């Protein structure tokens, strides 16, 4: 899968108080780049705590469920678009189905 845009992850884990997100986000990024997802079912096999949303969006729990990562996936094109990464408190303030 092609991930757009990794810089969003880097900007997040470089913020004070979020540095512990670096390893889990880099691990997620590395795993996704090697993945070949064709549907939500493929994601669920690897990330059992991930949650599907409408419009091909998925929420991943990152860092022992400390952080949330929302992506939108174009399965035919094999592209994962990072839409949001943040703390649970920040996640609670967004509408993950439209961000």
Instruction: Tell me the pLDDT of the chain (99 aa) as tens digits.
Output: 999 999 999 999 999 999 999 999 999 999 999 999 999 999 999 999 999 999 999 999 999 889 999 999 999 999 999 999 999 899 999 999 888
pLDDT given for residue 18 in this prediction: 95
DSSP one-letter code for 50: -
C-alpha to C-alpha distance for 86 and 13, rounded to whole angstroms: 9
pLDDT given for residue 20 in this prediction: 96
DSSP one-letter code for 17: T
Contact criterion met (CB below 8 Å) for 27 and 34:
no
Token pair of 48 as six digits = 């059992």
Query: Which among 41, 32, 37 is positioned nearest to 74, based on CA atoms?
Result: 37
């Amino acid at each position: 899968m092609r991930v757009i845009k990794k810089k969003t992850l880097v900007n997040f884990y470089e913020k004070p108080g979020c540095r512990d997100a670096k390893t889990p986000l880099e691990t997620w990024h590395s795993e996704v780049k090697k993945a070949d997802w064709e549907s939500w079912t493929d994601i669920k096999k690897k990330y059992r705590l991930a949650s599907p949303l409408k419009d091909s969006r998925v929420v991943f729990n990152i860092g022992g469920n400390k952080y949330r990562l929302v992506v939108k996936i174009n399965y035919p094109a094999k592209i994962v678009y990072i839409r949001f990464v943040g703390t649970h408190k920040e996640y609670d303030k967004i509408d993950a189905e439209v961000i």
